[in-house]
């Protein structure tokens, strides 16, 4: 891994006790999973302070400690204790140094929606022939990106990252650490508006990926997104555009068949492909991933087999529970992802009774009520029945009823147990249920309760 002297060089930290130089076996920020021989970095988070777990980390075999709060450090004499100005920054500094030791191609994916699926698709395609390190789950911020970089090995050929920050300058910092040479922007939507104000702010934040690509970098861009298309004009670098029914793009496809089991497309007017994914938005995700293959000057026709691909957890997954179907798409939610999920119900499940189990969309700032009212309006045109969970139920209800819908078609709950009880009461054979809401609501718990009712075990 790295020597203590290299850690000090990267972080400009100060050793407070006897210094001895040796090689650590890894880096951890979690005392629960730390392994013997690793360096423990004590980071203060929203819910926990790593400084409170330093003693536990040492008992489990930590060989060195990095900290930034002297009031929480105990007298430790047997291992190096390194003081830094900011532990989270130190993690990034170490990752930046570690990244400089490797020459792998680095691909970074950002956008308001689809980042994780695109990252997983790129990894799936490349890992068939190459050694790949990819971000776990949604490791996409100033902790997740450094931790992913620290997984690099000598034989790594491709590093695939996901980048998401809710403040200007955030992606710039991640790029300075990771040095990506291929950057993917999936789309620009109304996400993180609490911090970024509007779509222009979102676009500015995402455009940092293009601004801080390496000089020989390639931008992979959604040509069907008008904000991205306009944004791209400011950057004089190599670009590969993707889109649907758009022959002006280097990578394009036409939808041929959309159903609940698969999506069939005609790629480049040449070849029919079946995707094990549903919805128009997943066609875009596939095209973005394929555009990366093209950017690497590889033969895209050698990378079209997706038959074993599994979508990331909690993202547009369809489950059958006895005589009803459930779309579980609740990793997160914003106005554009809600609209895409409703569109799936409209275009694919035309005959079924459609029930939405929706929750709050967080981080929308001063426009929260406006977007939740619009969610009610849009839902009223597609859903037969709407169950809502969260703080904005009354606002969503107003939007729903504004389209002359009946009150008995709308249910609002602040308890998941009560919601599930009522849902089970009104369900009938053949129904399709969409479950979606922001991550903090943990809407998947509703699905797990349904599974228990139908006598199925949770995985």
What pLDDT is attached to residue 75? 83
Tell me what pLDDT residue 197 has: 75
In a domain, residue 95? The reply is no
Contacts of 430 (CB under 8 A, 6+ apart): 323, 324, 352, 353
pLDDT at 459: 59
**Contact by Cβ (8 Å): 36, 61:** yes
Tell me whether residue 309 is in a domain: no
Specify whether 166 is located in the same domain as 278: yes
Q: 271 with 162, same domain?
A: yes
Phi, then psi, of 274 in degrees rounded to 5? -105, 125
Going by their DSSP bridges, the two strands 81-83 and 14-15 should be labelled as antiparallel
Q: Would residue 312 count as lying in a domain? A: no
* Count of structural domains within the chain: 3
**Residue 238 forms beta bridges with which residues?**
218
- In eight-state DSSP terms, residue 154 is T
Same domain as 108, residue 81: no
Residue 97 lies in a domain: no
- Return d(Cα 374, Cα 385) in angstroms, integer: 16
Alpha-carbon distances, residue 291 vs 118, 280, 295, 358 (angstroms):
11, 17, 6, 33
Residue 92 falls within a domain, yes or no?
no
Domain C-terminal end among 243, 268, 302: 302
Whether residue 458 is contained in a domain is answered as no
Q: Annotate 373-384 with b (16+ C-beta within 10 A) or e (fewer).
A: bbbbbbbbebbe
CATH number for 400: 3.90.190.20
> For residue 174, what are the CA distances in angstroms to 13, 40, 171, 203, 385?
21, 21, 5, 16, 43
Sort residue 192 into left (φ over 0), alpha (ψ -120 to 50) or beta. left
What's the domain range around 49? 2-87
Q: Are residues 275 and 194 in the same domain?
A: yes
Residues 42 and 127 in one domain: no
Residues 63 and 6 placed together within one structural domain of the fold: yes
Same domain, 296 and 321: no
For residues 334 and 449, state if they share a domain. Answer: yes
What is the token pair recorded at 154? 């000598």
The answer on 288 and 365 residing in a single domain is no
> To which residue do tokens 């801080």 refer?
212
The residue out of 58, 87, 116 marking a domain boundary is 87
How many residues can be counted in the chain? 459
DSSP 96-116: HHHHTT---EEEEEE-SS-HH
Residue 71 belongs to a domain with what CATH number? 3.40.1390.10
CATH number of the structural domain spanning residue 229: 3.40.1190.10
- Find where tokens 């399709």 sit: 432
Angle at which helix 170-178 crosses helix 87-99, to 10 degrees, equals 40
What values do phi and psi take at 382, rounded to 5? -120, -40
Distance from C-alpha of 417 to C-alpha of 282, rounded to nearest angstrom = 32
Which of 87, 117, 145 is the C-terminal boundary of a domain?
A: 87
Interval 236-292: pLDDT, tens: 999 999 999 988 999 999 999 999 888 999 999 999 999 999 999 999 999 999 999
**Low-confidence residues of the chain: pLDDT under 70:** 459
Give domain status of residue 440, yes or no: yes
In a domain, 163, yes or no: yes
Q: Are residues 282 and 359 in the same domain?
A: no
Please check whether residues 417 and 442 belong to one and the same domain.
yes
CA distance 381 to 326: 20
pLDDT score, position 308: 92
Residue 263 is classified by DSSP as E
Q: Are residues 449 and 322 in the same domain?
A: yes
């Amino acid at each position: 891994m790295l020597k203590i002297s290299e850690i000090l060089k990267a972080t400009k930290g100060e050793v407070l006790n006897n210094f001895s130089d040796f090689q650590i076996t890894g880096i951890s920020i979690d005392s629960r999973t730390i392994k013997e021989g690793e360096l423990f970095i004590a980071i203060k988070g929203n819910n926990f302070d790593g400084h409170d777990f330093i003693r536990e980390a040492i008992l489990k075999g930590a060989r060195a400690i990095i900290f930034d709060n002297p009031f929480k450090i105990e007298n430790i004499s047997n291992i190096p204790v390194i003081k830094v100005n900011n532990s989270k920054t130190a993690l990034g500094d170490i990752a930046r140094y570690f990244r400089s030791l490797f020459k792998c191609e680095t691909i970074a994916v950002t956008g308001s929606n689809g980042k994780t699926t695109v990252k997983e698709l790129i990894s799936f395609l490349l890992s068939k022939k190459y050694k790949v390190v990819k971000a776990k789950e949604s490791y996409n911020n100033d902790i997740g990106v450094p931790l992913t970089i620290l997984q690099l090995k000598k034989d790594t050929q491709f590093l695939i990252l996901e980048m998401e920050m809710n403040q200007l300058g955030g992606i710039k910092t991640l790029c300075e650490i990771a040095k990506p040479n291929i950057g993917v922007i999936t789309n620009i939507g109304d996400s993180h508006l609490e911090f970024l104000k509007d779509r222009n702010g979102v676009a500015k934040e995402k455009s940092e990926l293009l601004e801080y690509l390496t000089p020989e970098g390639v931008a992979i861009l959604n040509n069907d997104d008008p904000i991205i298309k306009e944004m791209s004009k400011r950057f004089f670098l190599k670009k590969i555009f993707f889109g649907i029914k758009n022959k002006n793009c280097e990578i394009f496809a036409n939808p041929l068949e959309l159903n609940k089991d698969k999506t069939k497309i005609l790629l480049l007017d040449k070849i029919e492909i079946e995707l094990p994914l549903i919805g128009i938005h997943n066609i875009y995700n596939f095209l973005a991933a394929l555009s990366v293959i093209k950017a690497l000057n590889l033969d895209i026709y050698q990378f079209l087999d997706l038959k074993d691909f599994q979508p990331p957890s909690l993202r547009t997954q369809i489950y059958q529970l006895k005589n009803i179907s459930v779309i579980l798409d609740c990793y997160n939610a914003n106005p554009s992802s809600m609209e895409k999920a409703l569109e799936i119900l409209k275009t694919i499940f035309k005959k079924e009774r459609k029930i939405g189990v929706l929750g709050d969309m967080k981080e929308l700032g001063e426009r929260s009520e406006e977007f939740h009212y619009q969610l009610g309006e849009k839902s009223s045109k597609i859903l037969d029945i709407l169950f809502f969970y969260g703080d904005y139920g009354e606002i969503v209800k107003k939007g729903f009823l504004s389209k002359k819908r009946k009150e008995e078609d709308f249910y609002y709950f602040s308890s998941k147990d009560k919601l599930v009880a009522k849902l089970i009461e009104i369900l009938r054979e053949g129904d399709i249920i969409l479950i979606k809401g922001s991550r903090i609501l943990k809407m998947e718990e509703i699905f797990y309760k349904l599974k228990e009712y139908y006598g199925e075990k949770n995985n």
